[in-house]
A and B are shown apart, each in its own frame.
Chain A
C-alpha cells in the first residue's frame, strides 16, 4: 500500500472506532489497537501512540457536545479525575514491578462478567433512591435531559466509586488501555448514575487520563505523524456522529452496544495476557 491508500483505509477504520468510542464512553482504543496491529501489521508501540491520540480526539470531540447538552456531569468528572490521575501515576510506577499479563487476564475476566451484568437495567426503586449525604455535600447529584423532559438523579456509594476509579486509573497506567470500561462500570454499577450520564462523563474524563500519558509517549517517539493523522481525523468525524446518535438513542440500545464492546475488550485482554503480548 502507498501512503495515500494506507491513510484512507485507516481513516475509514478510525471513523468506526470514534463512533463506537463516543457511544460507549470507552474511547477508540478498543477497536483501533487490534485493527492496527492485527490487520495493518503496525508495531504495537506506534499503535499505542495512535490509540492515545484517538482517545483524546474522541473525548474532546464528543464531550464538547455532551457537556453543552448537559448530559456529562462536570463535577462528577472532576471529582473522580482526582482518583484516576493518582491511580494512573501509581499504576505507571508499579508497571515495572508487577506482571502485566496476570493483570490483563484478571481484567479480561472482570470485563466479560461485567458485559453480562451491564445489560440489566436499573429497577425503579434504585432509580428513586434518596440522596446520599456525602454525594449531596460534594454536589454530585444532578439532572439531564431525557425524553423531552429532565431527569434528576442521586449519586450513591461515593467512596466505593472513588476507589474503583483509582483502580481504573491504575489499570490505564499499567496496561495502557481499557480505563474507560472501568470508569463506566464504576459510575453505572457502583454509584448508580444513569447510564447515559455514566458513559458521557467517562468520555469527558478519558481525555485527561490519556493526555497525562501522551506526553511521555510523544517524548519517546511513539506518536508518528503519518499514522496519527488519518486516525485523528477519522476518529473525530466518527465521534461527532456518535455523539449525535447518543443524545437521541434509547438507553437499552446503548447498554447492548456497550456490553458487546466490553466483551470484545475482555477477550482482547485475555488473549493478550495468555499469549504474553503485553
Chain B
C-alpha cells in the first residue's frame, strides 16, 4: 500500500472528491447558462407536462443535442449539461481504476473494472 510517492487512501479520496466536484460544477454551470437563455426566451409561455409527448429527436440523441448547442438553443445547452451530469459517475468509476492501480490495490482495480464493464454494457445495450 502507498508505495508510490505517498499515493494512499487519503489521496484517492481527495482525487475522487475533486473529480465529482469538477463534474458537478461543469454540469451545473452548463445547465445554468442554458437556463438563462431558455427562460429569457420562453419564460412567459404557458407549459404543461400533463401529456407525455416524448422528447423530439433533437433532445434525445447526443448528435441532436450538440447541433442545438451549436445553434445556442437554451434547451440544447441544458441537455448537454445533463449529459455531463450523467457522465460524472461513469467517469468516477473509470478514474477509480487508475487510482487503485496507482495504489497497487490489484483487487480493487479489478472490482472497479467489473463495475465499469457492467455499467457500459447497460448504457450501450439497452
Spell out A's residues near B (CB within 8 Å): 1-4, 6-7, 36, 40-43, 45-46, 53, 56-57, 59-61, 63-65, 67-68, 70, 74-75, 78-79, 81-82, 85-86, 88-89, 92, 138-139, 207-208, 210-216, 218-230, 232-233, 236
Contact = CB atoms under 8 A, between A and B. Distances in A.
A229 B54 contact: no
Contact of B89 (A43, A208, A223): A208
Interface in B92-119: 92-93, 96, 105, 107-108, 111-112, 114-115, 118-119
Contact of B43 (A4, A42, A46, A211): A4
27 contacts: A2-B45, A2-B47, A41-B50, A53-B82, A60-B24, A61-B20, A63-B20, A64-B18, A67-B16, A67-B20, A78-B112, A81-B93, A85-B115, A92-B126, A208-B90, A212-B119, A212-B123, A214-B86, A219-B61, A222-B54, A223-B79, A223-B82, A225-B38, A225-B74, A228-B82, A232-B81, A233-B32
A67 B18 CA distance: 9
Nearest to B122: A212
B93 A67 contact: no
Interface residues of B, number: 68
A231 to B, nearest CB: 10
B49 A41 contact: yes
B47 A226 contact: yes
Nearest to B48: A41
Nearest to B109: A78
Contacts of B23: 60
B4 interface: no
A64 to B, nearest CB: 4
Instruction: Please report whether the interface of chain A is mostly helix, strand, loop or mixed according to DSSP.
Output: helix
Contacts of B56: 221
B44 A225 contact: no
Contacts of A41: 48-50
Contacts of A53: 82, 85
A236 B25 CA distance: 10
A85 B111 CA distance: 12
B78 A229 contact: yes
B38 A229 contact: yes
Nearest to A224: B55
B39 A78 contact: no
Contact of B59 (A1, A59, A212, A221): A221
B84 to A, nearest CB: 10
B111 A228 contact: no
Nearest to A70: B13
Contacts of B76: 225
Contact of A82 (B10, B81, B111, B122): B111
A60 B89 contact: yes
Given A2-B44, A218-B86, A82 B75 contact: no
B85 A43 contact: no
